[in-house]
Every structure is written in C-alpha cells, then in structure tokens.
Amino acid sequence: MARAEQYNVDLERFWQDPYPDLAKMRARAAVVYVPQLQAYLITRRDDIFREEKKVEVFSSAQPDGLMVQLMGENMMRKDGDAHMQERRAIFPTVSPKTVRDHWLAQFRAVTQGVLAELEPKKSCDLVHDYAMVVSGEALKRITGLTNLTAQEMDQVSQHMIDGCANYGADREVEQRCHAATRRIDDCISTRLAGDLDPDDLSLLAVQKRAGLEEAAIRANIKLAISGGQNEPRDAIAGTAWALLRHPDQLAEVLAGGATWMQAFEEYARWISPIGMSPRRVAKEYALHGVTLLPEDRVFLMYGAGNRDERVFAHPEVFDLHQESSAAISFGAGPHFCAGAWVSKALIAQAALPMLFEAMEGLHLTEEASFGGWAFRGPLSVPVAWSSTSS
C-alpha cells in the first residue's frame, strides 16, 4: 500500500508532455507515489537539492535497477569511495582544462564539417541532420570509440536510454537495448585489442591507464554514451528551436546582450534533457510526513524541480534573463554530471554559435515535436535558411 498520496498518470500522455502532471504533483504534496512507475516522486527543487546529497538514504547503488541490469554497474550506480575512484579516473578526459585545451578545437572542427555539408541544402531537420551528427562525432572522440559512426552512436545511445526508462517492461525496447550494448562491447573489444596512444585522452584510454577493471571501463563508456549523445543532441536542437521561437531573445544573443551559455542553461532549466534520476532507499526515512522504507524506488524529478514556482519567477517560460542559477539540470549532489564542461563547450561554444553564424535567415518551417519525461527533447526541428555566410 502506498504510504504517500497517490497520483496516477497516463504513461503515453506523460511521455508526450509531463509538465502539467508534474505541476499538479508539486502542488499536491512534496512526495507522491505513482503506481504506473512503481516509484515515489520528489518534485520540489529544494527537496531534490537537499535530499540528493544524503547518499546513505537515497542510494545510487541499484543492483536490480534497469541501468545496471542493461548496461553494467557504472560509476553513476556507486556511492562514496567507489564512485569517487572512478570519477577521478575519468577526470583527465572531462576536466575544464582538457575541454578548453584539447576538445574544444575538435568540437569546432567537427561542427564546421557538418555545416559545410548542410549549407548548400538550404533546409534540414536540426535534430537528425545537425545536432545528432555533431554530438555523435564529438562523442566518438571523447569515448575513444572511433570505430562507430555518428549515426550508430545515436542509435545505440537512444536504445540504451529507452531501455533505462523502460518501466513499463516493453520486451522490444529491452531487446533493442541489449543489441545496443552488444554493439558497444564489440567496438570496445576491437579498440582494446590494439595499442592505445599514451597521449590519448579518450575515456577508453584514461580509464585503462588508471587501472580500472575492464567491466568498469565498459560500463562507464556505456554510461557516457547513454547521456553524452542524446542530451547534447537534444539541447543543441532544442536551444536553437527555443531561440527561433523567441526572436527578440535570439536578437539579443546575436547582438551580444546575452550569451549562448545563458541560452543553453535557460533551455536546460526549461526543458530538462535529464528529466529524472532514480534512487534506492537504503534505510527507513521520513520526508515531509511520508515514510520511505528500504528498497523503495524514488525518482528525483529534475524536470519538475526546474519549474518549481517556489524558486523561479517565470518557471513555465523560456526567459534568458530569468535568475536560473538554482537550476538542477546537471544534478545536485556527488553525482553532478561529470560531463557538464564537455556539454557546455560543445553546445555553447561550438554548435549553437557556429550554426547561427553559418546559416543566415535560419527559421522554422514547421512546429517542432517533443517527447520523453525521464529524458526529454525534440523529436524533429525542421528549419530552412536563405543563404550562408560563405
């Protein structure tokens, strides 16, 4: 029996647009139980920010969770020293210095190549033709899996995140996820069979040099692919869409009155690419009168917290000048996204400014479509442009 107020959702409608239900949950109670997800949802920003840090209660270790079962036990599913050991091992790949001195130039070169192919076509889908390719090419380099194509990277990423959000136990979704992880394992095996350059800063190389066990290396690369492809892809296309839908704010960015980073960070608050993070209750705990018991499933709903009217002045709108420093788009605790600096550089220093610089007269030709609640982003953003800067 639920020990919190119960809230029912229509899963299909929730996938199409979770925000009306999330707003009702926030208003109704601090913690609600959603039987369709078999989980307790924490939806208010300050509660998420505070409670996520209590790893002794809200444990990331979930041996029976979908992510571990499908992708292996990666560092996101570990706490304490075990988590920090693997986080330190990947730091040479994702540190701000490495991003600035090593990856950013590669991101810009990749982006320029994609734009050069698109420019003569005068129209495209920003999700599939631009953001997906830019994100995939960047991720090939970061992970070290250069033996995957950008299209394959996108496919295996999507199939894995679909698997990790498969709380309805759809058998076909699970099978696609298993096929994706097998493909990644094959690519990892091929790369490990060869010699890795001692100066290689990819995730594969730095983890191997750090002496991590192969199972951990494989699981962490799958983790990076599951988040490092779809989230930048969705944020690139989604932020461009948001700016095109708000031409006054786009004009301000182009004139230097606001930054591309502001645009990205406000989009990530408004349409959270990472909508939630699951936790396992490790010991009995009371939160706002709700008793949570060991092995209960809890979802920290970042997408709901980022629209909390208690914290943000205009939570339901895209507003570059909104005070959004309290946003929890990358998490709030020790599991704060390790790839945050990589994402910010790729999106705000390469993909967005270079797109608008190259494509003069860029405009929407149809309305975009969105989907998802655990991970959310545009499915299609059709655009056209009048000419190119070249």
* Residues 21-79 pLDDT 10s: 999 999 999 999 999 999 999 999 999 999 999 999 999 876 666 666 666 677 666 67
Residue 293 pLDDT: 96
pLDDT digits (tens, 9 = 90+) for 311-336: 999 999 999 999 889 999 988 776 66
With a cut of 70, list the residues of the chain below it in pLDDT: 1-2, 62-72, 75-78, 334-336, 388-390
- Report DSSP state, residue 195: P
336-283-375 Cα angle (round to 5): 35
Contact between 213 and 252 (Cβ < 8 Å): no
Nearest to 207 by CA among 191, 195, 222, 218: 218
- Calculate the dihedral angle through the C-alpha atoms of 283, 336, 290, 11, rounding to the nearest 10 degrees: -110
Place of tokens 């991101």: 107
CATH superfamily of 5-388: Cytochrome P450 (1.10.630.10)
Nearest to 371 by CA among 277, 242, 246, 234: 234
pLDDT digits (tens, 9 = 90+) for 218-239: 999 988 988 788 899 999 999 9
> Domain ranges in the chain?
5-388
Residue 67 pLDDT: 66
Contact between 335 and 76 (Cβ < 8 Å): yes
Look at the alpha carbons of 325, 330, 332, 335 in this order and tell me if their dihedral is positive or negative.
Answer: negative
Contacts of 110 (CB under 8 A, 6+ apart): 134, 137, 138, 141, 350
Residue 79 pLDDT: 72
- The per-residue b/e assignment along 212-227, b for 16 or more CB within 10 angstroms, e otherwise, is beeebbbbbbbbbbbb
